[in-house]
Amino acid sequence: MKRLFPLGILLLVAATLAGCAHPITMNADLAKLEATAEAPIAKSVGYYLPDALRAVEVTTPGGGGDKVRYFPYRDLEPGFYKALSLAFTSVTKLAQPMEAGPKGVQLVITPEIRTTSASDGAFTWPPTEFTVTLTCAVHDPAGKPVKTLSVTGDGRATFSEFKSNFSLAAVRASDDALAKLVKALRSDPDLRR
């Protein structure tokens, strides 16, 4: 019976560690979002991101049976702001979903973020694959829908790459999604009207 006690403790510790959720971030590399030679759309836009969404924590699969957890809206907001700044001449963070008035906002953009992650590693927990789908509902200041744009960014990382940055696949997916968003916003004829 005394021999089973240490074995039981070891099994309990192993069960506790298996399937835990490790923290990562999706913070985009803002230096990779660069202005192009093309001039931004000459409009003032506002984006609305409620505090409740900034506080949302998401848990998705990692490797080795573990999971990863992160805050998609909080992590992606600085990159989202920069992407909008590259697409439009003026960007304002709004306190209400349809706030215009003295700020002269011509379009209001509300983002929705969806993520997935996976790993082909049986013994390592960081994700080797990550996707970020960024859907933006664009309205005029009165709340009339103008456009809905959706882009998906993909990020991959191998063990040799992520051993110094466990969030690498997520960061690459964020970078890719934001670069695609800038391109989608700038090329949309409805937003240029």
CB 55 within 8 A of CB 106: no
CA–CA separation, 88 and 29 (whole Å) = 20
pLDDT digits (tens, 9 = 90+) for 18-59: 458 999 999 999 999 987 778 899 999 999 999 999 999 999
Query: Please, what is the average pLDDT of the chain?
Result: 88
- Tally Cβ neighbours within 10 Å of residue 70: 24
CA–CA separation, 168 and 152 (whole Å) = 17
Q: How many residues does the chain have?
A: 193
pLDDT digits (tens, 9 = 90+) for 75-111: 999 999 999 999 999 999 998 877 655 468 999 999 9
**Domains along the chain?**
20-192 (3.30.160.150)
